Amino acid sequence: MDDLDAVEPAGKIWDHWIVWNIPPEQQPIPEGWDPETAGARAGTNDFGERGYGGPSPSDREHTYRFRLFALETELGTDLDTEATAADLESAMDGHVLATATIEGTRGRIQPDRDPDPTRRSAPARRTRVRALPAAAVRARSPTERRESRARLRPRGGRARVRRRSDGVG
């Protein structure tokens, strides 16, 4: 999970959670889920920690992106717990069969209204995503991926599809 709106305050897209080798039968991922006990691996987020660092925007509303990659292979042991998002993306290069992306927003945390402004909480609005059966996962063209993302709309929330300027994704 990353924060697309952290570029202005942090100077980069901020990585909150980096996990790989999630078993396909792990559906859904419950609150408090531990990747290591499930057979997955967790890398180091931009807080310098392993694990999930929830959203806590203090300047304005931020958009958070969850990306899921279906790979043709399990990633090897060359990625350790110090692996960053860049390390993971490099290791996945050439192995991606399909991707799924969902974005959500979290409003600015106001210390005078929040009982514990230091906490890293879950997003205010939650969206349930159903996993596709393995037979439904297939490689798709960039156009097909854009069209399917445009059709996604979370219940009770709003969805935004960000278009890259190069026309991909």
The percentage of residues in the chain with a pLDDT greater than 70, rounded to a whole number, is: 63
Q: Which residues contact 123 (CB under 8 A, 6 or more apart)?
A: 54, 55, 64, 104, 105, 106
Does residue 99 sit in helix, strand or coil? strand
pLDDT above 50 for 126: no
Give the residue, 39 or 8, on which the prediction is more confident.
Answer: 39
- The CATH number for 2-151, chosen from 3.30.1330.30, 3.30.1300.30, 3.90.280.10, 3.30.450.40, is 3.90.280.10
SS3 of the chain: helix, strand, coil, percent, to 5: 15, 20, 65
Tokens of 74: 């399990």
Give the residue, 153 or 5, on which the prediction is more confident.
Answer: 5
Give the residue, 69 or 13, on which the prediction is more confident.
Answer: 69
| Domain residue ranges in the chain | 2-151
Mean pLDDT of 91-107: 90
Q: Which long-range contacts (CB under 8 A, 24 or more apart) does 73-80 make?
A: 74/21, 75/20, 75/21, 75/41, 79/20, 79/41, 79/43
What's the pLDDT score for residue 111? 58
What's the pLDDT score for residue 56? 76
pLDDT above 50 for 32: yes
